[in-house]
Amino acid sequence: MYPQIITYLLTFINYQEQLIRTLLTLLIGKSMFDKPTEQPVNKPYRKLQVDDLPVIEVLEQLDYRVLLSEYLEKNGKLSNLFKGVRMQKFPYLKP
């Protein structure tokens, strides 16, 4: 008995679905349930561009003691080394 009721209910549901589709088609004026026949636009993507690898140079390791001794031999004193450095005055910073 149950299989007969289930098959009857399934056929009734299919009939209701067809009726709803027909009414919606009449209401809107075109069928909403047909699959679109248009093909999607197939545009090629831009090609991937990769930059060249950077040139990595190994820097020479310098010792500050050697540099200071060379500077002292050349100029004679260290006061000229820091002469060009000035403190910048900011008017909004008051001590």
* Largest separation between any pair of C-alpha atoms in the chain: 116
- The pLDDT of residue 16: 96
Q: Which residues of 55-86 are buried (b: 16+ CB within 10 A; e: fewer)?
A: eeeeeeeeeeeeeeeeeeeeeeeeeeeeeeee
For the ranges 3-7, 49-53, 77-81, the lowest mean pLDDT is seen at 77-81
Single pTM value for the model: 0.34
What percent of the chain is predicted at pLDDT more than 90?
A: 20
pLDDT at position 92 = 59
CA pair distance 60, 86, nearest whole angstrom: 29
pLDDT in tens, 34-77: 666 778 788 888 888 999 998 888 888 999 889 888 888 887 77
